[in-house]
Structure 1
């Protein structure tokens, strides 16, 4: 088979040829997916330290298990699955290599400190103060959009208003609230 034939051959044909003992076909499969899998490992590892080893381990598994490849999936999906599982195994091995006291240390807490909780409470009461100063319609729109997290479409449906009207009124309500906040900071 000519080099050009390998280049234009689809993955399934190359797999078939590789299973028949054509090493060049497997080499072309490797070359097609090498960079993508390598970059996946670099991205997940945050660097290149072990990416080469994981790439090699992945394609050894691909070669050994090539007879298990099913044409129900694209070859790329199949290789990616092997790469993902190889990475998971790598992470587990590294976890097992850690001393027991490092394995079971509690992760850093995302809970706010007492100071952050106090600041959040202050900010919340300020926002509620400004909300109370809005007209009832604007207050309702701000609460639905930003506190209850309704989409514009959901708000329009619940209030039986055109979508454009809802967007305009929410924009005006935000502007009014921002003006009150700025004026409140000046005084």
Structure 2
């Protein structure tokens, strides 16, 4: 946290190279979040780059109150939502190429992991966009309820309710469809 503040101060003082530290720290988690929103790797990459540019230009607006990561995610997700509205963005299916998987385990293990991820992505697509985003921010990015509340500009109680509803919907869908996610239907 203190290291981030130092990087921010350096960038604001004119050291543009210090911004590379911020990018390196957040590029992978931000890409993962946006990829799950867009379901298209190229679009996600473009949106991440645009989001980092937007964060850079708005860095002087970061007040230092609260974690920088929450502020940065809010700027990035708001940018994505604006782009979705402008382009009337339609979700696209991600095709996972076998070459993208760099796992040196047994082929059957790789297959099972890919199948489980595919089914989980399919389950997530059954949720409304806002609920899906809340789930991703909570469990993929490991943000607190209050951080999520600030990012998507919803009261804390609404975040908790939507997260609860989203998990319940996933459990119900898993129960109906069975497969790998039968443990969801058992309330785990």
Shorter-chain TM range is: 0.3 to 0.5
TM-score (norm 2): 0.45
The structure having more radius of gyration, on CA atoms, is 1
Structure number with greater CO (CA < 8 Å, separation at least 6) is 2
TM-score (norm 1): 0.45
